[in-house]
Amino acid sequence: MSMARKNTDAFALQVMLGLCLIWGSQQVLIKWAAVDIAPVMQAAFRSGIAALLVGLMICWREGWGQVGTTWRAGLLAGALFGVEFLFIAEGLKLTSAAHMSVFLYTAPVFTALGLHFMLPSERLRLLQWLGILLAFVGIAVAFAGGLSLEHLDGRTLLGDAFGVLAGLAWGATTVVVRGSRLSEAPATLTLWYQLMVGFIGLLLVALFSGQLGMVSLTPLAIGSVLFQGIVISFISYLTWFWLLRQYLASNLAVFSFITPLFGVTFGVLLLGEPLTLNFVLGALLVLLGVVLVSAEPWVRKHLRRVLG
């Protein structure tokens, strides 16, 4: 018998704030440590560390009984996970961590679009279509430099585009998980597929692109990789899955969109990244659109209360 999910309470809010704080630091850490270790190597090492820890947990708890029926979908989800972090790593060479934090979180928009065409039960509602429209308008505003073309920067635009592509890969990963046998598999097994396949794929990319040797074992590089591998990819992800078992996903989704705000704040404070008016306006439209898409039941319920 499945356990009924609860509405979010003070405890869930505190945990979500902690998770968003941790997730918001991710892109900033990668960019900060890039001087000592190539971003693609950071992504590979963090995935490898977390894959080892998750694998040990699977051995201790669920076991590997469902590998025989899930490995094909697992390989695809893992490949998409690797592509996501490849775009993040390469995009951070060109654009700011603040930009990457916002554009990466377009993922729910792409997830909703994919599920709309794949599963009849996931058809988009009017508010969600409005959210998708707002998100893409926000992307256009942030990309185009407002109304003035004189501020366009080709490198930044390419990096921002990589951020959107990373969000697309993330969204596609979720669609694969929801539309395959992985939807019935333990969350730890799904996470292990993503981490392990991503680790192997990113390591191969680093090898063939000549970035394998771009590693200096400085305290910053080691600390960044360990924090990303243990705290972000292992502890925070498992905590998120635990929350999803206890609380309503739509309520949690609303709080999770604080993450890009933390990412932008860290980018400005720690890396001294500038903020332009067009990016701020575009980012707000993107985040508003994503909230409408991902938390439509929550938004609809509160709109009814406000409107009577």
DSSP per-residue letters across 231-295: IIIIIIHHHHHHHHHHB-HHHHHHHHTTHHHHHHHHHHHHH-----HHHHHHHHHHHHHHHHHHT
Question: Which residue has better confidence, 155 or 168?
Answer: 168
Residue at token pair 């790593």: 89
The pLDDT value recorded for residue 241 is 87
Q: What integer pLDDT is reported at residue 168 of this predicted model?
A: 95
For residue 1, the model assigns a pLDDT of 41
Provide φ and ψ at 106, rounded to 5°: -80, -5
pLDDT digits (tens, 9 = 90+) for 115-151: 888 878 778 888 889 988 998 998 888 876 543 445 5
Alpha carbon distance 272, 80 (integer Å)? 31
Percent of the chain past pLDDT 70, that is, above it, reads: 92
**3-state class (DSSP) for residue 146:** coil
pLDDT average, residue stretch 277-292: 87
Closest by CA to 38, choosing from 93, 95, 81, is: 93
Domain spans of the chain, in order of start = 10-307
* CA-wise closest residue to 202 among 31, 24, 11, 45: 45
Q: Is residue 5 pLDDT above 50, yes or no?
A: yes
| Mean pLDDT of the residues in the chain | 87
**Per-residue pLDDT for 189 more than 90?**
yes
More confident residue, 258 or 88: 88
What is the Cα–Cα distance from 130 to 84, expressed in whole angstroms?
Answer: 26
pLDDT (0 to 100) of residue 152: 56
